[in-house]
Structure 1
Amino acid sequence: MIKLTIPSEPVPASRPRVTRRGFAFTAEPYRSYKKMANQVIKEQYSTEPLQGALHVQIKFYRSVQKSVSKVERRRRLLGVHRPTMKPDIDNLFKAVTDACTGIVWKDDNQIVSTKSDKFYSEEPRVEIYVEEL
């Protein structure tokens, strides 16, 4: 099993935006996150991309909002209250799999099984577990 960690607040994949003149572009926060994640993943995984069917588990750890009370903050950090608000977990998953494509695996269509979780943490990060089937 391969374990990779992106030590940053998770950022969701965004849809391409289109200008009035018809030019498509990607939002800056997603573009810079994907670039940073690519570099981190390349540093942690330096072998050839995997070829076969894959199971991918991703755990997203996001920071607790500053506006919550101390009691609620503690509940969130203990896992009693999990993140149920935006960003959506599928967009977070897409951002990470896009960053791993071409480095850890050749194409994300190799992923045949997935598991994703969102948690609160003092240390925002993304943990990626990849297993060949």
Structure 2
Amino acid sequence: MQFVVKGKPQGKARPRFSPRSHTIYTPSKTTAYERIIALEFKTAGGKCLPAGHYVAVDVLAFFPIPKSYSRHKRQDCIDGKIRPDKKPDADNILKAVLDGLNGYAYDDDKQIVEAICRKYYTGDEEGYIWVAVREVNTAGGHNDERK
């Protein structure tokens, strides 16, 4: 299952503490972004993999090229010679996607056994993320080469 979420990629924001209620909460901007991810997954026809199935998630985050870049530097961005090394961090982008899909693409995020996030620039002015969710086939296994 593959789908796209339009808009500049966002990372999972740090939890906040409310001194009034003495509780920890996820900022509303992050919660809204996670809801959009879940909605796009459902709209694309995604189905939930039940417990007991291994899951792999790939995320490609495409950032708009800064307007201040020269024509030459813009072309290097499009060609992949320059990649975004700015915030949000790849791990926070991945965390937002995984939390947004939790309960929609898989029963529980403990099922995820593979996850990749890559950051690129795009000529698209608003940016987007491309997400692929798939079941991992356990046939063949993997030997731990560290032993």
For structure 2, which runs of at least 5 residues remain unmatched after alignment? 137-147
SS class of match (2:62): strand
Residue 120 of structure 1 and its aligned partner are, at CA, apart by 0.5
Gaps in structure 1 of 5+ consecutive residues:
none
Could you tell me whether the CA contact under 8 Å between 1:34 and 1:99 is conserved in 2?
yes
Q: TM-score, normalised by structure 2?
A: 0.80
Number of aligned residues: 131
Q: Which residue of 2 aligns with 1:43?
A: 43
1:108 and 2:109 matched: yes
Alignment-derived partner of residue 66 in structure 1: 67
TM-score by length of 1: 0.88
Query: Displacement, 1:38?
Result: 2.0
Partner residue in 2 for 1:28: 28
Q: Deviations over 1:89-123 (max 9, x none)?
A: 00000001111111111111111012221000123
| Structure 1: distance between partners of 2:68 and 2:28 | 26
CA drift of 1:73 comes to: 1.5
Residue 6 of structure 1: aligned partner: 5
1:53 corresponding residue in structure 2: 54
Percent of pairs identical after alignment? 27
What letter matches 1:110 in structure 2? Q
CA RMSD, Structure 1 to Structure 2 (Å): 1.6
**What one-letter code is carried by the residue in structure 1 that aligns with 2:24?**
A
Counterpart in 2 of 1:131? 134
The structure where helix makes up a greater share of residues is 1
- Structure index of larger Rg: 2
User: 1:45–1:104: 8 Å Cα contact kept in structure 2?
Assistant: no
Q: Which amino acid aligns with 1:129?
A: A
1:51-73 Cα distance to aligned partner (Å, 9 max, x none):
30112211111111222222212
